[in-house]
Amino acid sequence: MMPDLEPDDFALASRSGLPDELCGLLRRFPREVWPERSGLGDWSQFWLERHDIFRQLSDALQDGCRHLLDRNVDAERFRQWALPRLDMYVGHLDLHHQIEEFHIFPAFAAIEPSLQRGYALLEADHGVIHPRLPALHAAGEMLARLDPGDRIAVERITSSLLGDLATLAPELTRHLDDEEDLLIPVVLAHGESALHLH
């Protein structure tokens, strides 16, 4: 059971990083040394790659929406490009967070219980991010149903989608960065095999 948090503790819109009391291991294992450490095995590399994919999809989808709205691409080409990427972004992000909550965070809590408040912070982040996902999913469904010849309707939905993506992007980036800053130092301190995540 994760500890309760005060609302300000998970305000993604205003947080600039992890609370100082959660950064002890990060000070021992700062990001600069991560590529040099042998403790980052297959699981860590895979998990970090998934985070990079979410960042890349977020940026690419926003750029794609802007290209459509600037009339640099036709509506049908945009739909064929955007819909599978949007589906991957929303669906994989939801699954990724479920796996973290049910498997990854408990494994880390077992090996480094002193960071319970940090795991709770990350779970609270999920509670901020997830209510934003249905709007993205709905926009994708509307785009899929629209007649691509109805440029005005396509642009209206795309403009709304871009707004939702732009709102989520800084929150998701903050969450991914803080999650890595909390968990990767635990891996480096204890070794990946101690977490039984293979």
Residue 49: per-residue pLDDT: 94
pLDDT at 4 over 60: no
Residue 166 in contact with residue 62, Cβ under 8 Å? yes
**Which H or E element spans position 122?**
helix 116-129
Position 2 confidence tier, pLDDT thresholds 50, 70, 90: very low
Calculate the CA dihedral of residues 61, 180, 130, 97 and round it to 10 degrees: 110
Query: pLDDT, tens digit, for every residue of 54-100?
Result: 999 999 999 999 999 999 999 999 999 999 999 999 999 999 999 99
Position 14 confidence tier, pLDDT thresholds 50, 70, 90: confident
* Best CA proximity match to 173, nearest among 16, 39, 28: 16
* Best CA proximity match to 46, nearest among 104, 90, 119, 94: 104
pLDDT at 40 over 90: no
Query: pLDDT, tens digit, for every residue of 162-182?
Result: 999 999 999 999 999 999 999
Mean pLDDT of the chain: 91
First to last CA, the chain: 23
DSSP 75-91: HHHHHHHHHHHHHHHHH
DSSP 33-97: GGGG-TT--HHHHHHHHHHHHHHHHHHHHHHHHHHHHTTSS-HHHHHHHHHHHHHHHHHHHHHHH
**Distance separating alpha carbons of residues 93 and 91, to the nearest angstrom:** 5
Query: pLDDT, tens digit, for every residue of 99-125?
Result: 999 999 999 999 999 999 999 999 999
Position 1 confidence tier, pLDDT thresholds 50, 70, 90: very low
Residue 143: per-residue pLDDT: 95
